[in-house]
């Protein structure tokens, strides 16, 4: 009986649930917002019967590009639906916004949408001219994103309008006929994170008030007619990740203030009228991935700024009036570069042998139309792999080593005078106050045996040891002093390893700074020699420590006898025949 009574109660329970659900207040879009959206749809495409296609609540059953959110009523319950986004213009099947018709006009009904936060137009205004009028800007002050892309008939001015929307985070107006100045009122947009005003007809100068947009991460004003000086205030935008001012008429030098842009990953200043040389501020942009300066009358030499820029993938400095030699440090530090273009300049001298180190990452290298000479340093496998992406034409004094005789191009085989000789000085080492020079070419037989013993070897290596000396001493905080290290093996060993020889295990157990402090016990700690010397096999790649207080840099001796400062790192000795002396 109990089970039967429960079954009889079930229909009553279901009826009560249905009645209770029906009593709940319906969530509906306000009528004025429904009408405003209909008018907007009819403005962008009057050929479609929008009211017939979508007769019900547009928040629940509207087209894809209409986005709504629930808001609380006076009691706090989320029962009111408001339009927060309108996206017009077909982008793809994955973003099938309402399509715009050939005679689309700018909707003026959007002032009836008080909760509108995003407005998006893609390729809507392509026929008749559509003007950005003042009446259009009667939008909600809660607007956060205003995006207009690929609308070639969209015209008007921005002045006097943008400053009315303090909540703006994204302003993207690209591929339009928008003209006039960039309004100074943009400095009021303290929440702005992205401003893209590319491929328009803007002119005038970049307002200095841009420096107040502290939250800005992307600034793209490319392909306009912007003129005037490069505003130093951009250096205040320390959160910038992308800065693109290319294809304008900006003049003067690049401000040193840009050195504060430590987060910047892309810098494109190409095709302007910038002068003053390659900006040394680049040296401080440690996050930089791409830098493009081509098409500016910069002039001057390529500076030594690459030691902190190992993450760079692309460099473009073509047609920039550059003179002098290409720094070998570019080959040392740009270990990840994929694209490097220095074409159409006035560069001279040899292509540094260190550029061979770019082979592991480079996809395109363009040194065309300079005055370079000497042997092409790249290997045959690299040239075969990169093919036509290695562009060296217009340098008639470049030549080929015998291993590159297959290389197709206007290059002759090198004669002996064109093959690089060992170099023992470089700008990198001169920064330490001295130069690299060989003390003697080869140690005597007895010194060879002593050298082997000093390194823990049973027999001298083949090829034999040679002496190198770095004529470079310095005192921390004072001007570098010139000098030389003792020429004899025993003196060199004493200078580096103390007054008695240690076995290799003892030496390898000490960090460079440790043995340095140990051997200078009792001396003034502010006096620190900057460079060192050691006997090495001439074919080995050797890293020799250089010290300035507790900061360790290195000088690399390569197999051709050249030496380069390679930056701060833990220092070690390495060769084909010797194990490391320290790590």
The pLDDT assigned to 408 comes to: 57
* Contact of 461 with 450, CB cutoff 8 Å: no
For the segment 32-50, the average pLDDT, to the nearest whole number, is 95
Compute the distance between CA of residue 270 and CA of residue 248 in angstroms, rounded to an integer. 9
Q: How far apart are CA 522 and CA 536, in angstroms?
A: 30
Is the Cβ–Cβ distance between 545 and 532 less than 8 Å? yes
Q: Which residue has the higher pLDDT, 237 or 517?
A: 237
CA 272 – CA 251 distance, rounded (Å): 7
Least confident of 63-67, 130-134, 345-349: 130-134
Rounded distance, CA 355 to CA 328, Å? 7
> Taking Cα atoms as reference points, which of 183, 193, 91 lies closest to residue 137?
183
What is the pTM (predicted TM-score) of this model? 0.69
The arithmetic mean of pLDDT across residues 290-317, rounded, is 96
Q: Which residue has the higher pLDDT, 561 or 402?
A: 402
Q: What integer pLDDT is reported at residue 402 of this predicted model? A: 79
pLDDT digits (tens, 9 = 90+) for 85-141: 999 998 877 778 999 999 999 999 999 999 999 999 999 999 888 998 888 888 999
pLDDT tens-digit readout, 70-90: 988 777 776 789 999 999 998
- Whether the CB-CB separation of 331 and 357 falls below 8 Å is answered with yes
**pLDDT tier for residue 409 given thresholds of 50, 70 and 90:** low
> What is the pLDDT at residue 74?
74
Between 356-370, 417-431, 566-580, the lowest mean confidence (pLDDT) is in 566-580
Express as a percent the part of the chain with pLDDT over 70.
66
The runs of H, that is alpha helices, within 207-351 are: 329-333
pLDDT of res. 545: 32
Low-confidence winner among 1-5, 155-159, 327-331, 484-488 (lowest mean pLDDT): 484-488
CA dihedral defined by 6, 11, 14, 20, rounded to 10 degrees? -110
**Average pLDDT over every residue of 266-294:** 97
**Bridge pairing between strands 225-229 and 201-204:** parallel
Find tokens 């890293």 and name the residue: 543
pLDDT category, 467, cuts 50, 70, 90? Answer: very low
**Beta carbons of 181 and 159 less than 8 angstroms apart:** yes
Which of 75-89, 482-496, 498-512, 562-576 has the highest average model confidence (pLDDT)?
75-89
């Amino acid at each position: 009986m109990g089970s039967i009574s429960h079954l009889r109660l079930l229909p009553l329970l279901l009826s009560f649930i249905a009645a209770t659900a029906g009593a709940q207040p319906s969530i509906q879009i306000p009528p004025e917002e429904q009408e405003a959206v209909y008018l907007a749809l009819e403005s962008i495409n009057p050929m479609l019967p929008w009211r017939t296609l979508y007769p019900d609540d547009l928040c629940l059953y509207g087209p894809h590009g209409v986005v709504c959110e629930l808001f609380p009523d006076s009691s706090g319950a989320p029962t009111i639906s408001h339009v927060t986004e309108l996206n017009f213009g077909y982008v793809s099947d994955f973003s099938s916004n309402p399509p715009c018709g050939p005679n689309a006009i700018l909707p003026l009904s959007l002032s009836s949408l008080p909760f509108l936060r995003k407005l998006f137009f893609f390729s809507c205004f392509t026929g008749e001219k559509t003007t950005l009028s003042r009446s259009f800007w009667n939008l909600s002050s809660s607007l956060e994103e205003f995006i207009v892309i690929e609308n070639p008939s969209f015209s008007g001015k921005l002045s006097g309008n943008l400053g009315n929307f303090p909540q703006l985070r994204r302003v993207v107006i690209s591929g339009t006929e928008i003209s006039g100045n960039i309004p100074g009122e943009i400095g009021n947009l303290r929440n702005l994170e992205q401003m893209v005003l590319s491929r328009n007809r803007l002119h005038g100068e970049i307002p200095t008030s841009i420096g107040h947009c502290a939250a800005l991460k992307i600034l793209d004003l490319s392909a306009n007619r912007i003129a005037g000086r490069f505003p130093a205030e951009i250096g205040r935008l320390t959160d910038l990740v992308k800065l693109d001012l290319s294809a304008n008429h900006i003049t003067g030098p690049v401000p040193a203030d840009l050195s504060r842009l430590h987060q910047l990953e892309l810098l494109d200043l190409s095709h302007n009228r910038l002068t003053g040389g390659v900006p040394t501020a680049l040296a401080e942009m440690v996050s930089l991935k791409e830098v493009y300066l081509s098409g500016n009358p910069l002039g001057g030499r390529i500076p030594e700024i690459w030691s902190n820029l190992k993450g760079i993938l692309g460099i473009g400095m073509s047609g920039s009036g550059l003179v002098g030699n290409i720094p070998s440090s570019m080959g040392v530090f740009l270990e990840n570069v994929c694209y490097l273009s220095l074409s159409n300049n006035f560069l001279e001298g040899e292509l540094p042998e260190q550029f061979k180190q770019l082979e592991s990452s480079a996809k395109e290298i363009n040194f065309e139309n300079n005055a370079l000479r000497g042997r092409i340093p790249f290997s045959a496998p690299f040239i075969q792999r990169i093919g036509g992406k290695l562009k060296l034409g217009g340098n008639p004094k470049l030549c080929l080593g015998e291993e590159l005789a297959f290389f197709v191009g206007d290059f002759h085989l090198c004669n002996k005078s064109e093959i690089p000789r060992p170099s023992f000085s470089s700008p990198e080492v001169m920064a330490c106050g001295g130069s690299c020079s060989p003390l003697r070419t080869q140690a005597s037989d007895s010194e060879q045996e002593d050298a082997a013993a000093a390194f823990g070897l049973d027999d001298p290596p083949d090829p034999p040891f040679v002496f190198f000396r770095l004529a470079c001493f310095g005192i921390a905080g004072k001007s570098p002093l010139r000098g030389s290290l003792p020429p004899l093996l025993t003196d060199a060993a004493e200078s580096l390893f103390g007054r008695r020889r240690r076995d290799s295990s003892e030496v390898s157990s000490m960090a460079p700074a440790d043995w340095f402090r140990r051997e200078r016990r009792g001396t003034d700690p502010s006096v620190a020699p900057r460079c060192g010397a050691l006997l090495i096999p001439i074919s080995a790649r050797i890293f020799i420590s250089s010290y300035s207080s507790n900061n360790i840099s290195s000088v690399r001796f390569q197999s051709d006898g050249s030496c380069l400062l390679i930056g701060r790192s833990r220092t070690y000795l390495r060769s084909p025949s010797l194990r490391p002396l320290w790590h």
